[in-house]
Amino acid sequence: MLKKRSACFIVLLTIWTAAATYSRDYAETPTPNDPQSEGKSLMSQETTLRDLFDRWERVWHEGQYDLVAQYVQPNYIRHDEAGDRAVTREAYAAEIAKTRKERPDIRIVVYDHTFEGDRAWFRFEFKWTDPKTGEKRTRAGMQVYRIEDGKLAETWLMLQPLGSAWTDAVAQEHWTSKRSST
């Protein structure tokens, strides 16, 4: 089972690398009259994605479900443990609410992230307390998002088994923070 999950992580990273490489290689070239337009455009895209995920963190950590309609496409395509599926904004907000009800203190702790064009990648960990036993629980994962018109359009989610954790990194303060050097 662990070998299968490791292979899935390798596939996920390969897809991400290919998407980032494609995006870099085939991005629109700036005009000769404005050589800095590409840098400004990339910075603007990163700021837009950072703002999107700052708000998305509030949905998960503060239960601000009203933000889902503003930041998720009408049909959000998900590739996760439940399979490949499209969910409506309302259905996805209900899924998040159910998860938060079952795990009231759930936190998503991010260790690494990258924004590239219309893609975002996160290496994270779910942390919560089992309400029935009081035991601390963790589950490590990686997730890639595709953004369309400033909204979440598609995601690929890979989770490690219950009890898994990233031990090689220091958590970021927020999902979009730069990782500290300690």
Name all domains of the chain by residue range, CATH numbers in brackets.
2-23+39-159 (3.10.450.50)
Considering the chain, what percentage of its residues have pLDDT values greater than 70? 74
Considering the chain, what percentage of its residues have pLDDT values greater than 90? 62
122-149 per-position pLDDT tens digit: 999 999 999 999 999 999 999 999 999 9
| Average pLDDT for 46-70 | 90
**pLDDT for res 172:** 82
**pLDDT for res 176:** 85
* Secondary structure of the chain in HEC code, one letter for each residue: CHHHHHHHHHHHHHHHHHHHHHHHHHCCCCCCCCCCHHHHHHHHHHHHHHHHHHHHHHHHHHCCHHHHHHHEEEEEEEEECCEEEEEEHHHHHHHHHHHHHHCCCCEEEEEEEEEECCEEEEEEEEEEECCCCCCEEEEEEEEEEEEECCEEEEEEEEECCCCCCCCCCCCCCCCCCCCCCC
Q: Is residue 23's pLDDT more than 80?
A: no
**pLDDT for res 28:** 42
Helices 89-102 & 37-62, crossing angle to 10 degrees? 50
73-109 per-position pLDDT tens digit: 999 999 999 999 999 999 999 999 999 999 999 999 9
CB-based contact 173:154 (threshold 8 Å): no
